[in-house]
Amino acid sequence: MENNRKNRRDFIKEMSLIASSTAFLSSIPWLNAFAGENGKNVAASDRVRLGIIGVGSRGRALLLNLQEVNNVDIVAVCDNYEPNYQRAIKLTNGKANAYYDYRKMLDKEKLDGVVIATPLHEHAHITIDSLNAGLHVFCEKSMARTLEDCKRMADTHKATGKILQIGHQRLFNPVYLNALERVKAGEIGQITQVRAYWHRNNDWRRPVPSPELERKINWRLYKEYSAGLMTELASHQLQVANWFIDKVPTRVMGSGSNSYWKHGREVYDQVALVYDYDNGTRCIYDSLTSNKHYGLEEQIMGDKGTIEPEVNRIYSESIPKAPGIRQLVNNIEKGVFDVIPIGGASWVPETAVEYKGEMIAEYANNDTFLQMVGFVKAVKVGKPYKNLFREGFHSSIGVLLGLQAMDNNEIVSWPEKYILEKEV
């Protein structure tokens, strides 16, 4: 833990360093948007007062990360499950006021914002109530269980002008940001396909202390609360695909099934989908729960190269020739007969001897932390980052349309009303 803390401190330094390089700035509007204003309008001593709603597995992680962010006070915590409620109190050393009911918390506390990490079906109403209470909101992905709820959240965000940031942490990940920068610079050419997958080998089931808690604890397995693999996993990766292709899909087709875990789970245990974009590009997606060999990846493929951000790799389509060979080929083309300079000492090639691509960017696994830094910064300034919410929205809509395609066995077109225009 000590080590973690130290690392995190370094990350902050690292962040401010990266954020000050101009190349980086252009691709991460949400980090530099307020770079100037931050110092001007907001006193450094200003502290941000946050409440956390839903301190389960993810909520705990967010809380621990927030405790490492400067100028943040976690003044309230809320959870309606006793063990987690007690744990939240402990985690904050009793400094935060604890609540079972978030509405009481919104009533009583003077907060700048809330962080919501409740199960999916408990995102929409808590988010909307918080926004209407004048608070900024960080809400875990995916946005909501239904399309209408996603839309209502978006509308309330717009109406109140309060921040609504959705927890797709890859949006703050230096590897992804650097990769995006390189895509914009043309390094992998024109992207024509993103192939993404998330494969695991487990059933998602959590142990339940007593039977009546089954649905509360294993909410991911029930359709009423969750869209399964789509909202839990695909959401992150469709966000990446949309972001890199820089478009909203036009339609989706797919098929899902329960092929392995026959244990009363309602959501699919494997899914396969195709998302089409208007320029002929597509995202091919699949997720599996009975084999983890291939793990997870978003393979971003262009005519000049490939990016695999999960493993931090970029590959070129053409491998550079040995300099002597380059010269030889030029000479043959021109009909010139000349010495071929390829023999001699061990001319160690500079490029990796096995072509495993190149690392995209140095990175310590801390994007969840970085996104909290980003949220706190936005709260301080009091304004949402341009186009950040848009990413979370389109991903959340996209996974639910994908579910619809699978459930109804139909090709689903992306409805106009679920498109947010880019802000300029």
Ligand X SMILES: NC(=O)c1ccc[n+]([C@@H]2O[C@H](COP(=O)([O-])OP(=O)(O)OC[C@H]3O[C@@H](n4cnc5c(N)ncnc54)[C@H](O)[C@@H]3O)[C@@H](O)[C@H]2O)c1
Binding residues among 9-48 for another protein as defined by CB under 8 A: none
Site membership for another protein, residue 83 (CB under 8 A):
no
Rg for the chain (alpha carbons), in Å?
24
Comparison of 81 and 315: residue with beta carbon closer to ligand X: 81
Considering CB distances under 5 to 8 angstroms, the limit depending on partner class, which of another protein, ligand X, none binds residue 323?
A: another protein
Half-sphere exposure of 106 (CA within 13 A, CB side): 20
Considering CB distances under 5 to 8 angstroms, the limit depending on partner class, which of another protein, ligand X, none binds residue 209?
A: none
Residue 181 contacts by C-beta under 8 Å, 6 or more apart in sequence?
23, 24, 26, 27
Considering CB distances under 5 to 8 angstroms, the limit depending on partner class, which of another protein, ligand X, none binds residue 344?
A: another protein
Considering CB distances under 5 to 8 angstroms, the limit depending on partner class, which of another protein, ligand X, none binds residue 341?
A: another protein
Q: In whole angstroms, how close is the CB of 256 to ligand X at the nearest point?
A: 18
Number of residues that bind another protein (CB under 8 A): 33
Q: In whole angstroms, how close is the CB of 356 to another protein at the nearest point?
A: 8
Site membership for ligand X, residue 79 (CB under 6 A):
yes
Own/partner contacts of 211-218, CB < 8 Å, gap of 24 or more, are 216/81
Site membership for ligand X, residue 80 (CB under 6 A):
yes
Q: CA angle, corner 255, sides to 251 and 260, nearest 5?
A: 150
Own/partner contacts of 219-226, CB < 8 Å, gap of 24 or more, are 219/119, 219/120, 219/121, 220/119, 220/267, 221/264, 221/265, 221/266, 221/267, 222/266, 222/267, 223/266, 223/267, 224/121, 224/145, 225/119, 225/120, 225/121, 225/145, 226/119, 226/120, 226/121, 226/145, 226/267
The dihedrals phi and psi of 27, each to the nearest 5 degrees, come to: -95, -10
The dihedrals phi and psi of 297, each to the nearest 5 degrees, come to: -165, 155
Considering CB distances under 5 to 8 angstroms, the limit depending on partner class, which of another protein, ligand X, none binds residue 335?
A: another protein
Considering CB distances under 5 to 8 angstroms, the limit depending on partner class, which of another protein, ligand X, none binds residue 56?
A: ligand X
Comparison of 93 and 346: residue with beta carbon closer to another protein: 346
Binding residues among 321-380 for another protein as defined by CB under 8 A: 321-325, 328-329, 332-355
> Which residue among 50, 117, 124, 179 contacts ligand X (CB under 6 A)?
117
Half-sphere exposure of 262 (CA within 13 A, CB side): 2
> Which residue among 122, 149, 181, 298 contacts ligand X (CB under 6 A)?
122
Considering CB distances under 5 to 8 angstroms, the limit depending on partner class, which of ligand X, another protein, none binds residue 1?
A: none
- Decide: 291 and 285 in contact? Cβ < 8 Å: no
Q: At what angle do helices 367-381 and 57-66 cross, to 10 degrees?
A: 60
- Residues 141, 295: Cα–Cα separation, whole Å: 20
Residue closest to ligand X (Cβ) = 56
Site membership for ligand X, residue 59 (CB under 6 A):
yes
Binding residues among 217-236 for ligand X as defined by CB under 6 A: 232
Site membership for ligand X, residue 165 (CB under 6 A):
no
Considering CB distances under 5 to 8 angstroms, the limit depending on partner class, which of ligand X, another protein, none binds residue 169?
A: ligand X
Q: In whole angstroms, how close is the CB of 313 to another protein at the nearest point?
A: 14
> Among the candidate windows 187-195, 221-229, 318-326, 375-383, which touches another protein by CB under 8 A?
318-326
Half-sphere exposure of 45 (CA within 13 A, CB side): 0
Site membership for ligand X, residue 305 (CB under 6 A):
no
Element of type H or E holding 407: helix 388-408
- Residues 389, 391: Cα–Cα separation, whole Å: 5
Residue 416 contacts by C-beta under 8 Å, 6 or more apart in sequence?
none
Site membership for ligand X, residue 53 (CB under 6 A):
yes
Q: List interacting residues with ligand X (CB under 6 A).
A: 53-59, 78-81, 84, 102, 117-120, 122, 140-141, 167, 169, 232
